[in-house]
Structure 1
Amino acid sequence: MSDNKAVGGKKRAAVLGSPIAHSLSPVLHRAAYEALGLNEWTYDRFDVDEAALPGFLEKLGPEWRGLSLTMPLKRAVIPLLDEISDSAASVEAVNTVLFEENGRRVGDNTDIPGMLAALRERGVGQVERASILGAGATASSALAALPRICTGEVIAYVRSAARADEMSGWGERLGVTVRTAPWEDAAEALRAPLVIATTPAGTTDALAAAVPEHPGTLFDVLYEPWPTTLATAWAAHGGAVVGGLDLLVHQAVLQVEQMTGRAPAPLGAMRKAGEAALAAR
């Protein structure tokens, strides 16, 4: 996209989802606009569900430049777009919509490259094995990212046979060899050089007692509450921890760059704003 700063008038962006009141995206994007001097840009949040999404999109005017999407809209938006990126198509999930000047709606997924960027920032460039805890949408993004950094086996620890089939299916789609194992064996997951926890709050608490003596890297995608019980135990054993805020900031950095045409986005300012907002909750 062209540098939208050069186009006169107000520019708008927002995050959509339901529920949406908890979203940190406005904090992160507004911090970026302030640091970049983009005084004509605004970023809001709207509670929009799947049924309301088509009507919401139709009402947007030419001042709109982009949307961030959270659940339950990441898949529902796809039929409403003119084009989606290979990254978004690979996991059937769009978290970013860009409005081109000719009116085309283009969907992308910044969760996958954001995950890789968060790991690289903590020095994780390549691992020989990886474990995934969980089998939801974030787990599929992790599975899409792992081929770029994992040279060996990927094991997903899941709660049901249906989830196991789902992860195996994603592996086939993505060209990743993934082995599934029952959740009861999840303590074994912690011995991998990279462990990606994608489960809801509290799910991994019981695993804290099983953290190995010399752990590798834990990527826990939660950011509230933080730190999780598992992340606290991991750090106490000297392991590296990447958190959900790291992922949120890195994927938002990519969104800001795509929506505004300005790069690099101010990672430090965005993270600082996110940390302050979480601390105030």
Structure 2
Amino acid sequence: MNDGRTTAERERERERADETVRVKRRRAAVLGSPIAHSLSPVLHRAAYEELGLDGWTYGRFEVDEAGLPGFFDGLGEEWAGLSLTMPLKRAVIPLLDAVTPTAASVEAVNTVVFTEDGRRTGDNTDVPGMVAALRERGVESVESAAVLGAGATASSALAALARICTGEVVAYVRGPERAAEMRQWGERLDLDVRTADWADAGQALRAPLVIATTPAGATDALAAEVPGRPATLFDVLYEPWPTTLAARWSAYGGAVVGGLDLLVHQAVLQVEQMTGVATGPLAAMRHAGERALKDR
């Protein structure tokens, strides 16, 4: 429809609108306990700088489950979103107006976006972040996979594998309760999951894709069992890095995807959701993360 304005006038108006969005003060932050170690502020601030979002800030707050409702009550209209780490990924769900199917599938929210009408929507960017990190290294699909561990990150790993694995996933765990939990996640995600005892975890290293979701040091003893021609290892740790397992894997010529890859890819998705940009600045965020880890 012709509104009487010239093309140049309409373009200037769009530029003024874009400038308003760029300098408008907006806030985001990461919450958790403990939180001092989090790299999220480094990654998100690097994204804001690269995108020219001068009015945006990203903080870090020590918040436990008991303090989460009060924190939400104190948020103002300037808040665009939150990143959540442990132990808040499930505790936040009752405080939200909606959760995405991805977050619901693993019962974990690591991203909250506040809409202009005040609604709080929870998402999980860990799952697509894992898929994106693997895709970046050329892993689009696998016929089978192994998961080491059975914690919260393991459920996200299963959800990611449900998108790319066409066959069986073997989860190596400690104890029958953990084994039952992993099989239940498999049923829920429509993924063929078989469990095996942790004592046999060395067998996992021959899988086309191995995802290690365990705490630091838990897989060190497995390094001696890395086969001569390993395939792909996704170790979700980023500090200390490389892990003993990842170092041996790489030395034997295997492909390694690290925790920083996951952290950056999931953070890119958070930036896109919170700011509305089409594509987050992956390279700038990764560089900032690498620099921060080197300086620690």
Q: Indicate the TM-score class for this superposition, using the shorter chain for normalisation.
A: over 0.9
Alignment of 1:140-179 (within 5 A): 140-179=155-194
Matched, 1:261 2:276: yes
**SS of residue paired to 1:181:** strand
* One of 9, 30, 38 as aligned partner of 2:53: 38
Percent identity over the alignment?
76
CA offset digits 1:210-259 (Å, max 9, x no partner) = 00111000000000000000000000000000000000000000000000
**SS of residue paired to 2:75:** coil
Matched, 1:60 2:65: no
Structure 1: where are the runs of 5+ without partners?
A: none
Match of 2:25 in 1: 10
Whether the aligned pair in 2 keeps the contact of 1:5 and 1:260 (CA below 8 Å) is no
Q: Distance in 2 between matches of 1:242 and 1:125?
A: 13
**SS of residue paired to 1:190:** helix
Match of 1:273 in 2: 288
Q: Distance in 2 between matches of 1:129 and 1:147?
A: 11
Deviation at 1:8, TM superposition (A): 6.2
Higher-Rg member (1/2): 2
* One of 183, 188, 199 as aligned partner of 1:184: 199
Q: Tell me the number of residue pairs that the alignment of Structure 1 and Structure 2 aligns.
A: 279
Q: Distance in 1 between matches of 2:197 and 2:106?
A: 23
Matched, 1:137 2:137: no
Match of 2:212 in 1: 197
Whether the aligned pair in 1 keeps the contact of 2:23 and 2:56 (CA below 8 Å) is no
* One of 237, 240, 251 as aligned partner of 1:225: 240
* One of 89, 102, 116 as aligned partner of 2:104: 89
Kindly provide the amino acid, as one letter, of the partner of residue 258 in structure 2. Answer: G
Q: Distance in 2 between matches of 1:4 and 1:16?
A: 29
Root-mean-square deviation (CA, aligned residues, Å) is: 1.2
Matched, 1:24 2:46: no
Structure 2: where are the runs of 5+ without partners?
A: 1-17
Q: Distance in 2 between matches of 1:221 and 1:7?
A: 34
CA offset digits 1:76-133 (Å, max 9, x no partner) = 0000000000000000000000000000000000000000000000000111110000
Match of 1:49 in 2: 64
CA offset digits 1:5-56 (Å, max 9, x no partner) = 6386310000000000000000000000000000100000000000000000
Deviation at 1:147, TM superposition (A): 1.9
Deviation at 1:174, TM superposition (A): 1.1
Kindly provide the amino acid, as one letter, of the partner of residue 168 in structure 1. Answer: R
> Relative CO higher for 1 or 2, CA cutoff 8 Å, sep ≥ 6?
1
**Inter-CA distance 235–105: structure 2 relative to 1 (3 Å threshold):** same
